[in-house]
Amino acid sequence: MTEHTRRNVLWGGLAATAAGIAAPALGTAPAEAAAPFTSPPPPASEVGRGDPRYPSLAGRGYNRRFVGDPEHVWVVGTTEDVVRAVQKAVDTGKRVTVRSGGHGFEGFVGDPAVQVVVDTSAMTGVYYDASRRAFAVEAGALLGDVYRRLYLGWGVTIPAGWCPTVGAGGHVPGGGFGPLSRMLGLAVDHLHGVEVVVVGRDGRARGVVATADASDPNRDLWWAHTGGGGGTFGIVTRYWFRTPGARGDDPSRLLPAPPSTALTFSVDWDWKKIDKAGFERLVRNHGTWVERNSAPGSPATALYSELQLSRAAFGTIGMIGQVAAGSGLPAAERLLDDHIAAINEGVPVTPVRTVRGRDWLAAALAGSPGDPGPLYRLKVKSAYLRRRLTDRQIDVLHRHLTRTDYDHPGAFLSLYTFGGQVNTARPDATAAPHRDTIMKVFLINGWEDVADDARHIAFTREVYRDLFADTGGVPAADDGAFINYPDTDLADPALNNGAPWHVLYFRDNYPRLQQIKAKWDPHDVFRHALSVRAT
């Protein structure tokens, strides 16, 4: 693997991960293809294997380990189109699923059992809905287009993911987080309503609007989409966003304004100059800083970073991130300087940094630093942390990252700063329950050759198992994992000797999600390997 390819593996994974990637979404529409503000939807079409469009619609998604081969793909433009597509699938007994932006890590759409895919990538509307005093975002809209339209139109935003090519459809129901979440909370903390195509007990498909209003009889369906994961209750066609407590009908006051400018940075430490003690000191310093700087309201929550613990063969340990510079670039630079100095204290290597200040929208549309690169075969795992990694865990990471019996440079573990405003919500206020955490762990391995699958998957599993050996090879039940980085290993008893998968993803919210599943999808029409099981 060339150095260019190695860097593409690394940055390709990161560009997707910081966005809070959607579990059930495997679309292909590029950001520049987004529809204009007032573009009418295309006519619905049912694309079968003989259609020249079929390979583009049914082919490979972000993770090349999974290749879809459905009987046909519905390209839909309206909620009515989705109802019609789902009803036909139900009437003919076909397994149906949904795709929006295209960044799924597991084979939920590429499952051989899936016979019909409903592709919402043409549903790209983003507009202010005066009747609901909220901003509507259709399921196929990519995050970059959401940011651009909300900001240029009204000067507002939602605190969603860092990758501009992720689709809203699958991103939001997993919770959605990004560089502004430490300051503004999760994307779902600003979700007012959702439109979902469901299938009732009578077998009829219909569109349902559910909102956060206490008097809404469908409120439980809204709640399920605030962290219950995608592809499990129905097919989302539209979201409405409005910050709770926002008053009046001035759109510019109904969602938060982003900072005027942002400081984007990358930092690199030379692996060859870091011994075991230096590695341990660096990772311990990082965790200590996050522990001390993740309280809600802390000025340090303006800083978001991802510490990338790469394999030694890659050559560098990296960190990327962004500082919200609402009070000006000098203050942001001081915060970044303090962050790097704290992490590097006692580490015998001077890191190389690259820093760029720019207006917020340009930073948001650029996404995370680096070249996204081509698509790869991937395996990912995640965890939430309520405190820094233990010394034992840091030792485990050093051992695996410097192993000489495994020469692949494309595996790495990232530590994302978290907490802040996210932790002000009650665990049951939304379906996203992890409201007492300070970091996310993201473990990813990327490669190209199918013949290498077993070797690279085995390495990834070994790292995760050893990292969490004290709790059955998976995170502790009160830490958990992130549903938008889905990992079907957690549902495999041979690989999980700790907390059940549904506890790791949903904690105490799972029984309520099961009740909602039974009510809104009684026939289990919408399902995948990690979807909520009805009671």
- Would the CA dihedral through 179, 185, 190, 193 be positive or negative? positive
In whole angstroms, give the CA distance from residue 510 to residue 229: 11
In the block, residue with structure tokens 């972000």: 62
Kindly list the catalytic residues. 416, 485
- Would the CA dihedral through 359, 360, 366, 368 be positive or negative? positive
Task: Please say whether the beta carbons of 102 and 26 come within 8 A.
Answer: yes
Task: Please say whether the beta carbons of 280 and 346 come within 8 A.
Answer: no
Among candidate residues 336, 345, 337, 344, the one with its CA nearest the CA of residue 302: 336
Tell me, letter by letter, the H, E, C secondary structure of 285-302: HHHHHHHHCCCCCCHHHH
- Would the CA dihedral through 353, 358, 364, 367 be positive or negative? negative
Determine how β-strand 303-310 pairs with β-strand 411-417: antiparallel
> Which 3 state secondary structure label does DSSP give 95?
coil
Task: Give the tokens for residue 259.
Answer: 């900072």
- Phi, psi of 400, deg, nearest 5: -70, -35
Task: Please say whether the beta carbons of 9 and 35 come within 8 A.
Answer: no
Nearest-5° Cα angle at 394, 389 to 398 = 150
Tell me, letter by letter, the H, E, C secondary structure of 56-94: HHHCECCECCCECCCCEEEECCCHHHHHHHHHHHHHCCC
- Would the CA dihedral through 212, 216, 218, 220 be positive or negative? positive
In whole angstroms, give the CA distance from residue 85 to residue 367: 34
> Which 3 state secondary structure label does DSSP give 96?
strand
In whole angstroms, give the CA distance from residue 444 to residue 47: 33
In whole angstroms, give the CA distance from residue 95 to residue 33: 29
Among candidate residues 41, 111, 49, the one with its CA nearest the CA of residue 80: 41
In whole angstroms, give the CA distance from residue 295 to residue 54: 49
- Phi, psi of 533, deg, nearest 5: -95, 135
Burial class (CB in 10 A: 0-12, 13-18, 19+), 380: buried
